[in-house]
Amino acid sequence: MPNAKKHFWIAFVVLGFLACSVDRPPESVEPVSERLTSEPKLASEFTRLANEAVLDRLPFEDKSDFERARRGFVAGPDALVIQGDAGQVAWDMTVYDFIEGEAPDSVNPSLWRQAKLNGITGLFEVVDGIYQVRGYDLSNISFIRGETGWIVLDPLITVEAARAALALINQELGDRPVVAVIYSHSHADHFGGVRGVTTPEDVAAGRVRILAPEGFSHHAVSENVLAGNVMTRRAEYMFGGLLEAGPLGRVDAGLGKTTSRGRVSMIPPTDIIGETPTPITIDGVEMIFMYTPNAEAPAEMMFYLPQWKAFCPAEEANAVFHNLYTLRGAQVRSGKDWAAWLEEAIQLFGDDMEVVFGSHHWPRWGREEAVEYLASQRDLYAFVHDQTLRLANQGLTPREIAEILELPASLGQQWYNRDYYGTVSHNSKATYQYYLGWFDGNPAHLSPLPPVESGARYVDWMGGADAMIEKGRASLAAGEYRWVAEAINHLVFAQPENQRARWLQADALEQLGYQAESGPWRNFYLTAARELREGVVGTRTVDTASPDVVAGMSSEMVFDFMAVRLKGIQAAEADLVLQIFFTDRDELWVLDLENGVLHARQGVAHPDPDVGLAMTRPDFLRLLSGAVGMPTLLAGGRVDLSGNPLALASFGGLFDRFERGFEIVRP
């Protein structure tokens, strides 16, 4: 059995939003165009002018968001640092103390403004009875006062962050038990900290209810699992987790600062919302729920609180243009459905609502302002949806549409519609993909050469590496950063060890990052620049495929994930059958291989399996995660094994391990 332990297959994928920050080379003071080096550069004159022009395009004289973000402040620490049980830092807002005064040349002034707003932290009263703790994670955690306790909305990403928020409100407003938790949707920043506010024991005993939209459990544990390794790697770029906070690095993610680090948990819901309207009363609080799938999340819900005339749009109305396609990677979302849900909310509750408070950012007060805000966000998504399809029907490709599509001033001059998170550019491409897929209709794009081979040919056509670098340096000096990034990328893929090529590409991407209004765009550009200079560095500290989340997967989903990791060509030559009986669930599964595909069938025993296992499903999951080995389970009498142990080792050897720190900006 040592071989079985050695070769047994799966370590569950890490699905977190970011890895820890690491040291970065010191800031450079030399001009961008002077020479190629491996060090970060300051903003170029072209970047300074581009960012300066933003000040003339947008209404910076409007300070009303700062009033909204500070309204109702109750309390908060002077220096917000949240530590975990082992003393590790789970959240640190002090690293953003540099965000004050006017924007430096290396940050888009609009993003700098958003970074200031997202830096306003603490406990806030929305109205008497509804409170929010903001700035303790990427998302908000909200508290609704019931007759006896707290109803908690969206308990952040990690246990550490949620626990700190609950401690703050209890300290300031008096201890109250948590009587219910609402997961507004299936993204980890809205459920991962649940064990920081309640326990599975309290839920099982009926002392705490957990409400979630239909499909929550499936999507919460599966949306990122099958492609989880690549999603997590890209999330390191998106949220700037590998960047040092500072004017040349991580400033903001638009939707919030970044993501907390620590333990991600999940407790399955007790109440499922699957239709509109669904009225529910908990602890004396009447709530009317709307079921709103296939927009910001595949499973999501909004709700209205008649007692306070308060509406919660979850994450379907924010102080940003959100993502129809998230850069970390996920299924494309429907702008049409998104707009429709906001319209339905206005029709259902618009006549009465007096306040809107959401899962991110700050509330809006007064009926006129609340409805105007929801209507403008509605039209934002509808406009990009409709105009993308109009231009597509005229024959324009996604890149052409992204280049010319712009919002009317009535939408684009609203701060809450700005490109801080999603952008008009990549959301229009997402809409095109939603309806028409990746192919733009040009047959030249049906089967292009792979990047390494095409890169080599571009280098040859353009006169070799030295000629490309000199042309690239001239274009860089002229401020043509998009072109340098596009052209020199071919050289980087043709010659990944060419330092000067990597440094030139990094210099171009860096300037694009300094100019970006979108937090994720900035983080992508700057993280890529860093990795071109230093290689892949850093480790992840958040595991959203935690034991709680894994335990929430159905057995079918576990086997689906195994199928994704199967080495298909090698498995096509194998003829193995594994039978597993989960003793705690009375589930019988037969796994077999055919044509390089793993099939998992439930309920019918195989007459002659190569290997048979009888064990609990938790032990099976621990075995797959590497938390325990087969010899330990056998020695402890926790598994009955029949058949050929060598066949088990052979079966396990057919499954891949994904490299977590794979290259993105080099082959």
pLDDT recorded at residue 544: 59
pLDDT recorded at residue 252: 98
| Distance separating alpha carbons of residues 662 and 330, to the nearest angstrom | 19
Whether the Cβ atoms of residue 121 and residue 136 lie closer than 8 Å to each other: yes
Neighbours of 333 (CB within 10 A): 24
Whether the Cβ atoms of residue 320 and residue 113 lie closer than 8 Å to each other: no
Which of 323, 381, 317, 324 is CA-nearest to residue 349? Answer: 317
Mean of the per-residue pLDDT values of the chain: 92
Q: What is the pLDDT of residues 369-378, one digit of tens each?
A: 999 999 999 9
pLDDT recorded at residue 528: 97
Structure pTM? 0.90
Backbone angles phi, psi at 467, to 5 degrees: -65, -40
Q: What is the pLDDT of residues 107-157, one digit of tens each?
A: 999 999 999 999 999 999 999 999 999 999 999 999 999 999 999 999 999
CATH number for 2-9+553-652 (one of 1.20.1250.20, 3.40.50.1970, 3.40.50.300, 3.30.1050.10): it is 3.30.1050.10
> Identity (one letter) of the amino acid at 350?
G
Q: What is the dihedral of CA 86, 91, 95, 98, to 10 degrees?
A: -160
**Residue 641, beta-bridge partner list:** 613
Sequence spans of domains, the chain? 2-9+553-652
pLDDT recorded at residue 60: 98
Backbone angles phi, psi at 127, to 5 degrees: -145, 170
CA 92 to chain centre: 19
pLDDT recorded at residue 629: 86
| Distance separating alpha carbons of residues 645 and 259, to the nearest angstrom | 43
Q: Which residues of the chain have pLDDT under 50?
A: 1-33
For the chain, the maximum distance between any two Cα atoms, rounded to a whole number of angstroms, is 77
Whether the Cβ atoms of residue 579 and residue 588 lie closer than 8 Å to each other: yes
pLDDT recorded at residue 538: 75
Residue 204 structure tokens: 């099982």
Q: What is the pLDDT of residues 286-330, one digit of tens each?
A: 999 999 999 999 999 999 999 999 999 999 999 999 999 999 998
Sign of CA dihedral 57, 60, 64, 65: positive
